[in-house]
Every structure is written in C-alpha cells, then in structure tokens.
Structure 1
C-alpha cells in the first residue's frame, strides 16, 4: 500500500468530461507508490455557494482553514476554477495538486489567489499563456505552476484505413461559423459527406463510442482555437486542445488554425492552415489530393503516440508530487 491518492471528480455526466476520465484511468493503472482511489462528488449547492462568495469578496482570499491533517494527496482535474471539488479535502492536507484548463483571463483575478486558499501545492495549466501570466503577475502566490498541455489515451481512439474513410469533413465541438459557411456550399455541391451539428441538435454524437467511430471514419477534421471561435470568452488564449490530438490519434488530417503553443510542442506545422479567401476551393483541393497528406497524417499520429498521451503527462505530475513528499 502506498500513499493515499484521492482523485476528485464531479459525477456530472457532461460529454466534455471524457478527457478527465482518461487521465484518471491512466493514474489508476500506474500508481507508482500511491494508493489511488477515485472520489465521485455529487453536485452541492452549498459548495457552489461558498466558492461564489469567495470570488466576490477578495478579502476572504487570505483566510487559511485547517482541519485535522492527514498524510494524503488530493489530485483534481478541473475546468477553470471549479474549486468546489476540493471542499473539504483541501483543508485536510497541504498536498493538493490541480490540473486546470479553460482558465480564461477574466477569471484570473480570483482563480489564482484561491489556489493558496485551497492549499494547492502545484497547479498544472494546460495553456502556456496562462502559466506565463500567472508567473509574471502573481509571483506573490505560494502555489507553484507549470505548463502541462492536454493529452489523451490513444487506446480510446481508433482509425479506418484511408480508403475506407467515408466522412469527408467532420466538424465537432466549437464551430468556426464564418469558415463553416464558406465550405458548406462547395462541399454539398460536389457531393461530399460533411458531418456537423445542425440547428436544433443538442449533441452531435450520443456518446463517446459514436464520437470515436466518426473520428475513425473522417478524412478531415476542422480545428480552430477558442480565441478565434469564441474571442469574447478566450480573449488572447490560444492553446492546443484535446480535439487536435483526438483527430491525430484517429489518423485524420487537420485543416484549421495552429494554436500559439502547438508548433513548439510538435517542432513542425502539423496542420493545413485555413485559407479564408479561398476556403471552399482549398477544401476541395485537399480532398482531391488527400493521398499527398498521408505522410503528414502518419507523422502526426506517431508524434501523439510518443509524446502526447496521459502517461507522458502523469510522469511529470508524479515527479512534482514526489518533490512535495
């Protein structure tokens, strides 16, 4: 038996939580001296109320709550500042570690100080820009930070042979509306199979198996960072997200916009950059010469398998936890 490692997770069933489940399964399979136990947390109005009050009254940030201490590690992967997941566990130990993504700039003023309030020893930001802002403007905060990009578990995804892929273009998740309208007509006129969420649809796919099956059957996936699709929310944050890796692990060609950190992560440009002035013609030309991109698709796939799985990220997280013990 190793040191107790709580994996704190919301029991909300939203589709986008799949990446959290992949990370937790990776940790559970390779504990390396830890005794991992996943703790599924129900929605609590009281905990949500507490976090809301904390965000509204900065004078409360300096409070330090302490319960009876225990030798245990808490780890939570959270969307933005969902600190309710740490209540009350964060006050029972100083060994709290958080993986955080979708940390939009307008929330920094309260998310960053609350890291100390919740006794977070190390925070892993999925965005390099968020990490840089934290280190440059919040150096007074005791919590340490590191950039740790998103990742996936490759075994959760599969692919069809190139000649068996029947979806020409797949758009899922956040849609770049301006670009979507430019390619829809030309694809339809040329009889191409274009899959996307239509008005009135809640989710494009009912579950993860249906989603991964569509990825496996897709030739091209459209990927654009949030600062372009939703600039009011993301502002300047441009980061590689899970969808880029999911497309590559399914041997799809990405047509889109390269996030600011992705060239650094790959060492080359792994996508076909959108030509907004000739969007329809460009897409048809890429489909017509799809075989020319097989080498890039294979290179991307191999790079993801070697460098961008959760087992790669867990090695970094584990090192930081060991440093604190």
Structure 2
C-alpha cells in the first residue's frame, strides 16, 4: 500500500462543480502507487469565518501551524481561495497540493501568502495570467506554482449528427448581455431555436445530464471570457474556461471571443470571432453555411481528446507530487 492521497472535496452538490468530480474520478481510476481516498468536507461556518479572518490579518501569514507529522498527501481542487477545504488536514502534513480556478486579482494579496500558511507545496493555476502575477509579485512565497489549464473527461459528453441538432444557438454560463441583446431579436425573427437563461431562472439546466443532452443537440455555442462578461470581477484575467472545451467535446461550433491563452494552447484559432457590428446577421450566416465549419469542429474535437483531458493534467500533477516526496 502506497502513501495516502486524500482528495478533499466540498459536499456542495451543484452540478457545475462536476469539473472537480471529473478530475477526482480520473485520479481514482489512474494507475498509481498512492492509496487514494476521497473525503467530502462538510460546510462549516466556523472554517469559513476562520479563513475570512486570516485574510484580514497579514501578520499571521508567516505562521506555519503544525498539529502532527502524518505520512499523507492532501490534494484539493478549489474555486478561488476556498482554504476551508484544507482545514484541519493541511496542518498534519507538509505535502499539500492545490488546483485553483477563478483566482481574481483582488484576491491575490491574501490568497498567495496563505499558500505558505497552509503548507502548500505546489499550486496549479488554471490561468496563465494568474501564474505570471504570482511569479512577478510574490517571489517571497515559498509555494511553487505552474500553469495548468482547465480540462475535462471527453467520455462525459456526447454529440449528435448535424441533422439531428435542433438547438441553433446556446448561451450558457455567464451572459454577455450586450451581445445577447443584439442577437436575440434577429434569431427570434428568423425562427431560430435560441436557448439562454431568462431573468427568472437561477440555472439554465437543473443537472449535468440535461446540460450535456442540450450540448449534444446544439449547433453554435457562444463563449466569451470573463474579463469581457464580468470585468468588474475578472479585471484583466482572460483564460480558456471549461465551457470552451465542453462545446468542443460535444462537437459544437464556438462563436465568441478568444481568451488570451487559448491560441497558445491550440496552436491555431479554434473559434469564430464575434462581429459585434453585425452580430445577429453573422450568426444567421454561420447557421446557413454550417457545413463549411465541419473541418474546424472535427479538428477541435480531436485536439481536445489528445491534449485537454484530465488524464493529461493528472500526469503533470502526479509528477509534481512525486517530485516533492
């Protein structure tokens, strides 16, 4: 039996957190010398309160609390600085590793120093720009970091033949309202099937199955990075997010804006760039000549299979863990 590898996971059941579950399932199924154990961490107001207080007390950042010397590895995939998932596990071993999404600039001053407080050996940032900021401005932090883009498990997604796809345009996730307001009336006037979240809806899809079924039936997916849809939150961070990969895994054509790191990842432009000046008519043209984009759709699908699955990412994470042992 190898060293214990604890996968720490929130017990929240929102389906949009399935990207974390996909990664953990990949780790559990991969050949490994680790004794892998998944632990669901219950919501705790006290833990959340503690992390908030820590963030307000920079003089505590240099502390390295330890409550034991357990022979174990902790790994957690978390949204931003959700350090409560590491409490108390991080304080019993120095082998702590984090995969981190949505690390917005306003959080950097407390997230980055707290990596050392929680004895994190390696942090894997989904955004290249976050890594660059970390390297340029936080060289005093001992935790090591690398850029590791988001990924998925292709087998969790499906696709239909073009003639069986009955959704013309799908907007899911963050809404780009300026763009939506330009395309919605034109698509409606032409009788196109356009699905998007209405103001009275909390979520567009109730679960992952209904979401993947919709993707499989969709021709065009609108994808725009957060620095455009929510600049007050993301500021300058422009990264490839899961929605791009999900659309490609379902063999949908993406119309949108290219994140700053995505062409580097693909080696070509995998999307159709939005023409804001003629947004609605552009979509009608794309739908009228959809067959012209089949080679791009297939190229994207094959690229995701080869390079952007969690199996690819786990190999890198595993190497860094073994390097630290």
Q: Tell me the residue number matched to 2:292.
A: 292
What is the CA-CA distance between 1:15 and the residue it aligns to?
Answer: 2.7
User: Which structure 1 segments of 5+ residues have no match?
Assistant: none
Q: Tell me the residue number matched to 1:85.
A: 85
Deviations 1:147-204 (A, max 9, x none): 0000000010000011111100000010100000100011011110001111201111
Distance between the aligned counterparts of 1:16 and 1:161, measured in 2? 26
Contact map agreement 2:16 2:208 (CA 8 A) in 1: no
Q: Tell me the residue number matched to 1:190.
A: 190
Q: Tell me the residue number matched to 1:161.
A: 161
Please show how residues 1-325 of structure 1 align to structure 2 within 5 Å: 1-325=1-325
What is the CA-CA distance between 1:68 and the residue it aligns to?
Answer: 1.3
Three-state SS of the structure 1 residue aligned to 2:221 is strand
TM-score, structure 2 normalization: 0.99
User: Which structure 2 segments of 5+ residues have no match?
Assistant: none
Distance between the aligned counterparts of 2:36 and 2:2, measured in 1? 9
Distance between the aligned counterparts of 2:255 and 2:16, measured in 1? 22
- Answer with 8-17 or 73-82: which moved more: 8-17
Distance between the aligned counterparts of 2:64 and 2:15, measured in 1? 35
Deviations 1:3-61 (A, max 9, x none): 10000000011232110000000000014111111000110111111101100111111
Distance between the aligned counterparts of 2:166 and 2:22, measured in 1? 27
Distance between the aligned counterparts of 1:144 and 1:283, measured in 2? 44
Residues 223, 196 of structure 1: alpha-carbon distance in 2 compared, 3 angstrom cutoff: same
Three-state SS of the structure 2 residue aligned to 1:62 is coil
Deviations 1:246-289 (A, max 9, x none): 00000000000000000000000000000000101100000000
Distance between the aligned counterparts of 1:187 and 1:68, measured in 2? 61
Backbone CA RMSD of aligned residues: 0.6
Deviations 1:209-237 (A, max 9, x none): 00000000000000000000000000000
TM-score, structure 1 normalization: 0.99
Distance between the aligned counterparts of 1:39 and 1:278, measured in 2? 50
What is the CA-CA distance between 1:70 and the residue it aligns to?
Answer: 1.1
Distance between the aligned counterparts of 1:135 and 1:9, measured in 2? 27
Distance between the aligned counterparts of 1:148 and 1:282, measured in 2? 34
Contact map agreement 2:223 2:255 (CA 8 A) in 1: yes
Distance between the aligned counterparts of 2:45 and 2:121, measured in 1? 26
